[in-house]
Amino acid sequence: MKVILLSDVRGLGKKDQIVEASDGYVRNFLLPKKLAIVADARSQNDLMGKKAAAQHKIDEERKAARATAEKLANATVTITSAGGADGRLYGAVTAKDIADAISAAFGVSLDKRKIVLDAPIKNKGTYTVKIKLYEDISAQLNVSVTGA
């Protein structure tokens, strides 16, 4: 009997897969535990619609990430922080500070975890920061740190 798995089943398949299983296994184990549903025409059509919607969502996220990458490509953000005369800052410029500056300058809301910093910035100057917008889409941003 063909069934659509509703969750991963060891030895049978992954979630949302259509698999062939013995009738007894389906009736006595998979269906009572709600691990699968019978793969009739309606459920197969629902599954294909669900997969198409998921793919559409991924495509839209990629499109938005590319647009953000183009907007931020080689742009410069200036952050003012209190520091001493020798060029060192009293605190540090972190990914959260950079995300807030990007939001203020470009109107782009970014999560601080998408900003890749090897270490917090503790000196005045200009730094190049990598921003990971999606799995394979990233942008380079120049961060200029000035003292107050």
Do 39 and 80 sit in the same domain of this protein?
no
Do 60 and 71 sit in the same domain of this protein?
no
What CATH number does residue 105 fall under?
A: 3.10.430.100
pLDDT at position 27, please?
A: 95
Do 75 and 136 sit in the same domain of this protein?
yes
Helix (H, G, I), strand (E, B) or coil at 62: helix
Task: Identify the domain boundary among 46, 64, 82.
Answer: 64
pLDDT at position 85, please?
A: 81
Domain count, the chain: 2
Mean pLDDT score across all residues of the chain: 91
13: DSSP letter:
B
Do 33 and 98 sit in the same domain of this protein?
no
Half-sphere exposure of 33 (CA within 13 A, CB side): 11
Do 72 and 111 sit in the same domain of this protein?
yes
Q: What is d(CA 81, CA 94) in angstroms, rounded to the nearest whole number?
A: 11
State the DSSP string of 46-92: HHHHHHHHHHHHHHHHHHHHHHHHHHHTTEEEEEEE-B-TTSEEEEE
Do 35 and 72 sit in the same domain of this protein?
no
pLDDT at position 89, please?
A: 87
pLDDT at position 43, please?
A: 93
pLDDT at position 13, please?
A: 93
Q: Is the overall model pTM greater than 0.85, yes or no?
A: no
Do 54 and 125 sit in the same domain of this protein?
no
Do 130 and 72 sit in the same domain of this protein?
yes
Do 138 and 82 sit in the same domain of this protein?
yes
What CATH number does residue 10 fall under?
A: 3.40.5.10
Taking the chain (148 residues) in consecutive chunks of 10 residues, what is each chunk's mean pLDDT?
94 93 94 94 94 96 92 89 85 91 90 90 91 91 87
Task: Identify the domain boundary among 10, 38, 64.
Answer: 64
Share of the chain above pLDDT 70, in %: 100
pLDDT at position 119, please?
A: 86
Do 112 and 134 sit in the same domain of this protein?
yes
Do 99 and 58 sit in the same domain of this protein?
no
pLDDT at position 42, please?
A: 95
Task: Identify the domain boundary among 64, 79, 94.
Answer: 64
pLDDT at position 74, please?
A: 81
Range of the domain at 90: 67-147
- Joined together, the tokens standing for residue 102 give 């990007």
